[in-house]
């Protein structure tokens, strides 16, 4: 029996035997992963292990060749495209921070706010007091209140990372997929980010991909180690660090 | 909608200058120092129609990042819809004196109007067709192209192919649109002589009004949240998808609107220049329209109008002196603007005015 069958109600995300090939090269090789509701999971693994590809599969950017990708108990994500998956409540922060450079910080958050995405609505939409309050609160959370008028393109790398996390929050997703959030951040910023993710995790489920071991340790959550497209090891950071296979392929390099 | 100084200036000039020209043409005597000759009125009317085409191009290129190299097709289709109406007004005054059939059909030995010419004698119908035909074509084309995620250079190439295909189709006599010669020798529009200076003045002022309305509509669109999404799509299309937007839907709306705007320009153009033929579909025409926008300043709307008028003014002047070298001059201008004036003429003005509309309006 698999975990999903024993605890169907508690499973938020289920990947079963997912394989993705690019020109014969298997970026994901029968990858399986189960995330419970409310869980935060750290995913680590060497370059090219398939971490980003896994997020591409979950968010509908890449279709798996084989395997199951389920959100909740009965939503098959492989049948949906990116906007539909986003609408279900899966938000994503990219490895390379991607914000709307011609827009202000404020407008970046405004565009990300959960709400109607149809042209018919947005053509007539007026910024409401309620939306303003929500934007203010997101800016507060990511500590960007005084940056609101700056253009996305003018921000530093670290600020873009924060803005993108802010956009993710504004989307109010059930599940956040966060790809390398602390790349380009100072130690202090890294610590703040860990704190922020733990705060977010009080109400939402999170999958974080990160290379920074200090950061992963600070998160203090279950860790999945990917290697060559499949799960090599899973458990607490201390357990996986002690796993000789992990030491060989990753930590011991 | 917020209107800034640039917007007021654009509206004032786009309407004020044509009205002044029309008044000076109509109320002064020929030969008086203040008199504006009718050929100037006709030229101004033509520039205003080109400005509508430029505005349409800027809306999709400047804000949604869709570089259309086929927009003149929508302009020409609007023009053909109006041309059909104007042909039907000729009646028995044609060379063959056939009350029912336009001359070229009599010449081809046709005995009755093809089904798609039905209703074209009725002005409101012609106007509706000038909007609907470009709009529906754009919608079909856009639906296929945007849904398949065709973007960038590939999209530009297929827009060019679209206008080229229409060029070839309209060249054919059996299409029933006058083939190579197109339609000309128009007599009246709404019972008024199209050649009369009063009619020309009126058409020019109506073109100016239409241009102003289009400018306001375009501004409303780009300043709305819809416009912000468009700019986001232009910047990083994939990101908008992961936020739950469907860029193809946004592009389709703005693309269709833009085609309709170009169609209106074309419909007003034909009675003022007195002819419509397949050369209006020539790929070079669409490319010229893009150059107008680049010269004026992409993504500024006002710049599109300015660019269309300035370049065409230059063209009229230049072709009067050195007709064979205009294309070289245009090419040189384009290279110059690309290298030295990436924000076009609008970029030369005060810093505030040079900012694209979308950036201007964010400051609360
Ligand atoms: N679209 C694609 N086409 C071809 N190969 C790809 C594509 N996307 C990813 N790959 C390959 O798949 C493998 C896994 O890539 P992926 O980006 O998922 O790794 P990653 O674990 O995120 O690595 P990193 O730590 O460097 O971000 C890599 O070898 C990569 O080159
Ligand atoms: Mg990666």
Nearest residue of A to residue B235, measured between CA atoms: A100
Strand order in the sheet with A175-179: A90-93, A175-179, A205-209, A40-44, A222-227, A230-235
Residue B279 pLDDT greater than 60, yes or no:
yes
Note whether B250 contacts A100, CB cutoff 8 Å. no
Contact by Cβ (8 Å): B193, B320? no
Note whether A119 contacts B358, CB cutoff 8 Å. no
The B residues from 223 to 282 touching A (CB cutoff 8 Å) are: 224-226, 228-229, 231-232, 234-236, 238-246, 249-250, 253
Contact by Cβ (8 Å): B25, B198? no
Residue B136 pLDDT greater than 90, yes or no:
yes
Note whether A122 contacts B244, CB cutoff 8 Å. no
Q: Which of A51, A93, A231 to mutate to test the pocket of ligand 1 (most atoms within 8 A of CB)?
A: A51
DSSP string for residues in B143-202: HHHHHTT--HHHHHHHHHHHHHHHHHHHH-GGGSS-GGG-EE---EETTEETTSHHHHHH
Q: Which pLDDT belongs to residue A252?
A: 52
A233-237, B29-33, B160-164, B174-178: which range is least confident on average?
B29-33
Q: Which residues of A touch B362 (CB under 8 A)?
A: 103-104, 106-107, 149
* B146, B244, B360, best to mutate vs chain A, most A CBs in 10 Å: B244
Strands A222-227 and A40-44: parallel
Q: Which ligand is nearest to the CA of A211?
A: 1
Residue B308 pLDDT greater than 90, yes or no:
yes
* Whole-number percent of chain B with pLDDT over 70: 96
Residue B111 pLDDT greater than 90, yes or no:
yes
Q: Which pLDDT belongs to residue A250?
A: 67
**ipTM of this complex prediction, to 2 decimal places:** 0.92
* Total-model pTM: 0.93
Overall number of domains in chain B: 1
Q: Which residues of A touch B256 (CB under 8 A)?
A: none
DSSP 8-state assignment for residue B32? S
Nearest residue of B to residue A59, measured between CA atoms: B242
Residue B33 pLDDT greater than 70, yes or no:
yes
Ligand 1 site residues, Cβ closer than 6 angstroms: A 22, 27, 45, 47-53, 95
Q: Which pLDDT belongs to residue A249?
A: 81
Q: What is the pLDDT of residues A82-116, one digit of tens each?
A: 999 999 999 999 999 999 999 999 999 999 999 99
B68-77, B100-109, B286-295: which range is least confident on average?
B100-109
The whole domain housing B353 covers: 5-363
Query: Exposed e or buried b for every residue in A148-161, given b needs 16+ CB within 10 A?
Result: beebbeebeebbbb
Across residues B30-57, what is the average pLDDT? 96
Note whether B244 contacts A87, CB cutoff 8 Å. yes
Average pLDDT, chain A: 92
In this complex, the residue of B246, B250, B358 whose CB is nearest that of residue A102 is: B358
| Residues 6+ away with beta carbon under 8 Å from A63 | A57, A78
Q: Where is pLDDT greater, at B198 or A73?
A: B198
Distance (Å, whole) CA B70 – CA A149? 37
B247 Cα to chain A: minimum distance (Å): 9
């Amino acid at each position: 029996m698999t975990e999903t069958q024993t605890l169907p109600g508690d499973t938020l995300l289920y990947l079963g035997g997912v394989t993705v090939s690019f020109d014969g090269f298997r970026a994901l090789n029968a990858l399986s992963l189960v995330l419970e509701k409310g869980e935060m999971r750290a995913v680590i693994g060497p370059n090219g292990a398939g971490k980003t590809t896994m997020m591409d599969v979950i968010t509908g950017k890449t279709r798996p060749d084989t395997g199951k990708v389920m959100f909740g108990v009965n939503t098959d994500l492989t049948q949906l495209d990116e906007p539909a998956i986003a609408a279900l409540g899966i938000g994503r922060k990219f490895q390379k921070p991607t914000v709307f450079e011609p827009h202000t910080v404020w407008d970046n958050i405004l565009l990300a706010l959960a709400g109607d995405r149809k042209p018919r609505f947005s053509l007539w939409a007026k910024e409401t007091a309620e939306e303003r309050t929500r934007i203010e609160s997101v800016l507060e959370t990511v500590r960007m209140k005084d940056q609101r008028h700056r253009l996305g393109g003018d921000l530093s790398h670290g600020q873009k990372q924060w803005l993108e996390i802010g956009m993710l929050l504004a989307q109010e997703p059930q599940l956040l997929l966060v790809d390398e959030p602390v790349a380009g951040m100072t130690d202090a910023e890294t610590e703040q980010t860990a704190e922020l993710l733990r705060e977010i995790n009080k109400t939402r489920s999170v999958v974080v991909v990160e290379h920074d071991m200090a950061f992963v340790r600070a998160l203090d959550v279950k860790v999945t180690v990917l290697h060559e497209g499949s799960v090599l090891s899973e458990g607490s950071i201390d357990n996986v660090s002690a796993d000789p296979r992990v030491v060989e392929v990753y930590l011991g390099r | 909608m917020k209107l800034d100084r640039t917007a007021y200036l654009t509206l004032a000039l786009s309407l004020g200058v044509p009205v002044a020209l029309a008044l000076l043409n109509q109320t002064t005597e020929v030969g008086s120092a203040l008199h504006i000759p009718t050929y100037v009125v006709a030229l101004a009317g033509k520039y205003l129609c080109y400005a509508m085409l430029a505005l349409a191009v800027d809306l999709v290129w400047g804000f949604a990042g869709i570089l259309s190299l086929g927009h003149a097709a929508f302009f020409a289709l609007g023009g053909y819809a109006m041309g059909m109406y104007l042909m039907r007004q000729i009646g028995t005054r044609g060379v063959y004196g056939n009350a029912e059939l336009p001359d070229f059909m009599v010449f081809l030995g046709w005995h009755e109007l093809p089904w798609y010419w039905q209703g074209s004698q009725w002005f409101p119908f012609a106007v509706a067709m000038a909007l609907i035909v470009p709009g529906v074509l754009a919608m079909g084309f856009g639906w296929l192209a945007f849904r398949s995620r065709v973007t960038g250079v590939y999209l530009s190439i297929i827009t060019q192919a679209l206008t080229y295909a229409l060029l070839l189709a309209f060249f054919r006599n059996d299409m029933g649109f006058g083939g190579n010669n197109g339609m000309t020798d128009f007599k009246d529009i709404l019972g008024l002589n199209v050649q009369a200076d009063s009619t020309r003045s009126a058409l020019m002022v109506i073109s100016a009004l239409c241009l102003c309305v289009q400018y306001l509509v375009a501004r409303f669109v780009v300043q709305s949240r819809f416009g912000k999404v468009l700019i986001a799509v232009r910047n990083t299309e994939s990101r908008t998808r992961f936020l739950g937007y469907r860029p193809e839907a946004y592009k389709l709306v703005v693309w269709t609107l833009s085609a309709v705007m170009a169609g209106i320009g074309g419909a007003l153009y034909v009675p003022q220049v007195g002819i419509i033929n397949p050369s209006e579909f020539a790929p070079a025409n669409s490319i010229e329209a893009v150059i107008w926008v680049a010269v004026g300043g992409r993504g500024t709307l006002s710049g599109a109008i300015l660019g269309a008028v300035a370049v065409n003014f230059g063209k009229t002047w230049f072709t009067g002196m050195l007709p064979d070298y205009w294309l070289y001059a245009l090419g040189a201008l384009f290279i110059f603007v690309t290298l030295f004036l990436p924000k076009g003429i609008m970029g030369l003005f005060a810093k505030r005015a040079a900012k694209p509309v979308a950036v201007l309006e964010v400051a609360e």
